[in-house]
Chain A
């Protein structure tokens, strides 16, 4: 008796599931959601609350500046833009849900997600809908594997290659310290290692890991006579290394990657060594585009923008420029049609965009080609 009952229940459930699918199939005409749009709708997700919220809020602020600027200048052929970023708390499942909400609200194009894990989930959804997105800051390669996925920031390996070229060109003896227990650090270092081999330059490398990330006297002892020490690591450890370098009386230049500007809060005036880092965005730049963005941001939010804010601004502006180049003039255009047009325009020979993080162009891989700035830390 029980067996029959459970069988019936299972059958009923299976039927319900199938019925559910059928229902979706009938109403799920992809173009339907955008039919009532009166503005072009750019969506996105990012951590607006939680540990990583500073990144998401910066991107949101930067993107809002771009939207205001576009609409103040008359939008695209007189049609305004609207931007909505949903909170994903840097979690992949929340990014998926947020994507569905945005898509059903009529999202036509997106800035993807702010962090790599979320962006991977966002990319999966976007690929099945053929929705174009341009992530400001998700640097993992997996985020831009689909043909509809593009990014503004550098990929992790790019920085390693750039650092190798820069150091070989400018310094004689080179050292490196990286965190072998961290994916970001090893990702950059492996590319650096390969490029150094490629350039045929010898260098000394020392490592540390999550268990040994406080006392760097041994590593610094081995590298103290180098002209430059490459540090593809987070700023807390970089600060400790800087102090160890001072204690050992070395005058080596410290050379880091994006985000090393945070080291300023970790060191004091005893650190006299030059500290340089690769960054796509220099807040003190005198470039007209950059300083206009910095001024607008400061006026609206009362603080200086960071790299994520600049990336967010550039993601929206690049989408706008690409839509303009593609000659989009239908505000109810479906995501897949828009994706086709924008992808063609953005990968076209001769398309480039100049924004707060420099001049960039894209190829079919989705990665941005741009020249990084190497700046010295303002201590």
Chain B
């Protein structure tokens, strides 16, 4: 039971990151491999603000603002000049951005893991803690669900959301209908990066250490989750993320613990073999 809760809360972190991947892919048709490193920047932003102000709220706000700006900047500087270039060129650029951010963090903060600081903690909630569930797990799970619902509503019920869907479906037609595609892609990156900041925040609640490669493993896992769920599909990212989180935790709790990472990624191969578009992916028929 507790393993399940731990798994769900880890899964909601993965789901939040996977949402960032899948949104950007669905709308801009590119894999933003720097997404994991935006989480890392968010975590460092929290650490630095916390050290300066001792206010977790200020730290969270700073992280969201910094990540959103960073996301837009990365899109404007690195990806926009490549719009229309081959997907491979964009992919390589994204990996380059990822290494750039990691290297920068290493230069500024050093390669040693740093504890985030004692002001970064959640209050004990007796009713939940007595069941053996940590406050961090509960908060992550609840907030994760709220954020996912909010995102779904935003996309389906607002004008900007509809414009995003339109760009995702057919960029050419969207342009013809008067949708400002560049603006929509920027908004997508902004939202994706803000989600990364949230993911960084939840990550720090569970693992209170920052290091330059912090985003790498969660980033890859969440990418796997997005592909398992069907890349481009928002509910798919959530299902994939939660699924991987739960599987990871159950593996760790079983005698298979040493093989956790192998099992996690074998699942990707298995699902791609059986259902190449992912669990909730759309089947796109090629018209002849």
Residues of A within 8 A of B (CB): 180, 206-209, 211-212, 214-215, 217-219, 221-222, 236, 239-240, 243, 247-249, 265-270
A236 contacts B209, C-beta separation under 8 Å = yes
6 smallest CB-CB distances across A and B, nearest first, come from A268-B118, A218-B252, A247-B134, A211-B261, A214-B207, A218-B253
A221 contacts B3, C-beta separation under 8 Å = yes
User: Which residues of B from 132 to 179 have beta carbons under 8 Å from A?
Assistant: 132, 134-137
In the complex, which of the residues A209, A268, A269 has the most CB atoms of chain B within 10 Å of its own CB atom?
Answer: A268
A268 to B118: give the CA distance in the assembly, Å. 6
In the complex, the chain B residue whose C-beta lies closest to that of A219 is B252
- The 0/1 profile, CB within 8 Å of A marked 1, for residues 197-231 of chain B is 00000000011110000100100000000000000
A266 contacts B115, C-beta separation under 8 Å = yes
- Nearest-Cβ distance from residue B220 to partner chain A, whole angstroms: 10
B117 contacts A215, C-beta separation under 8 Å = no
User: What residues of chain A lie closer than 8 Å to B132, measured between beta carbons?
Assistant: 221, 248
A338 to B6: give the CA distance in the assembly, Å. 63
B134 contacts A268, C-beta separation under 8 Å = no
User: What residues of chain A lie closer than 8 Å to B253, measured between beta carbons?
Assistant: 218, 221-222
B115 contacts A218, C-beta separation under 8 Å = no
User: What residues of chain B lie closer than 8 Å to A267, measured between beta carbons?
Assistant: 115
In the complex, the chain A residue whose C-beta lies closest to that of B118 is A268
- Nearest-Cβ distance from residue B106 to partner chain A, whole angstroms: 14
B206 contacts A215, C-beta separation under 8 Å = yes
In the complex, which of the residues A247, A249, A268 has the most CB atoms of chain B within 10 Å of its own CB atom?
Answer: A247
A86 to B261: give the CA distance in the assembly, Å. 43
Given A218-B3, A270-B121, A212:B113 Cβ within 8 A: no
B93 within 8 A of A: no
User: What residues of chain A lie closer than 8 Å to B2, measured between beta carbons?
Assistant: 221
A267 to B209: give the CA distance in the assembly, Å. 10
User: What residues of chain A lie closer than 8 Å to B121, measured between beta carbons?
Assistant: 270
User: What residues of chain A lie closer than 8 Å to B207, measured between beta carbons?
Assistant: 214-215, 240
B115 contacts A239, C-beta separation under 8 Å = yes
Return 10 A-B CB contacts under 8 Å, by A number. A211-B260, A214-B214, A215-B206, A217-B137, A217-B206, A218-B252, A219-B252, A240-B209, A265-B115, A270-B118
A123 to B238: give the CA distance in the assembly, Å. 58
Residues of B within 8 A of A (CB): 2-3, 6, 10, 112-113, 115, 117-118, 121, 129, 132, 134-137, 206-209, 214, 217, 249, 252-253, 257-258, 260-261
Given A248-B134, A268-B118, A269-B118, A243:B208 Cβ within 8 A: yes
Given A268-B115, A269-B118, A215:B10 Cβ within 8 A: yes
A215 to B261: give the CA distance in the assembly, Å. 13
20 additional A-B residue pairs with CB within 8 Å, beyond A211-B261, A247-B134:
A207-B257, A211-B217, A212-B252, A212-B260, A215-B10, A215-B207, A217-B6, A217-B134, A217-B137, A218-B6, A221-B132, A222-B253, A236-B112, A236-B209, A239-B115, A240-B208, A240-B209, A248-B134, A267-B115, A268-B117
A206 to B255: give the CA distance in the assembly, Å. 9
User: What residues of chain B lie closer than 8 Å to A221, measured between beta carbons?
Assistant: 2-3, 6, 132, 253
- Nearest-Cβ distance from residue B114 to partner chain A, whole angstroms: 9
Q: Which of A212, A243, A268, A270 contacts B261 (CB 8 A)?
A: A212
- Nearest-Cβ distance from residue A235 to partner chain B, whole angstroms: 10
A218 contacts B249, C-beta separation under 8 Å = yes
In the complex, the chain A residue whose C-beta lies closest to that of B218 is A214
Given A236-B209, A270-B118, A249:B249 Cβ within 8 A: no
- Nearest-Cβ distance from residue A7 to partner chain B, whole angstroms: 52
A206 contacts B134, C-beta separation under 8 Å = no
User: What residues of chain B lie closer than 8 Å to A212, measured between beta carbons?
Assistant: 252, 260-261
- Nearest-Cβ distance from residue B222 to partner chain A, whole angstroms: 14
A154 to B71: give the CA distance in the assembly, Å. 51
A180 contacts B258, C-beta separation under 8 Å = yes
A41 to B44: give the CA distance in the assembly, Å. 51
A214 contacts B209, C-beta separation under 8 Å = yes
- Nearest-Cβ distance from residue B195 to partner chain A, whole angstroms: 20
User: What residues of chain A lie closer than 8 Å to B118, measured between beta carbons?
Assistant: 268-270
User: What residues of chain A lie closer than 8 Å to B217, measured between beta carbons?
Assistant: 211, 214
A55 to B121: give the CA distance in the assembly, Å. 35
User: What residues of chain B lie closer than 8 Å to A217, measured between beta carbons?
Assistant: 6, 134, 137, 206
In the complex, the chain A residue whose C-beta lies closest to that of B6 is A217
- Nearest-Cβ distance from residue A367 to partner chain B, whole angstroms: 31
A248 to B260: give the CA distance in the assembly, Å. 22
A180 to B214: give the CA distance in the assembly, Å. 21
User: What residues of chain B lie closer than 8 Å to A248, measured between beta carbons?
Assistant: 132, 134
- Nearest-Cβ distance from residue B17 to partner chain A, whole angstroms: 14
A267 to B120: give the CA distance in the assembly, Å. 12
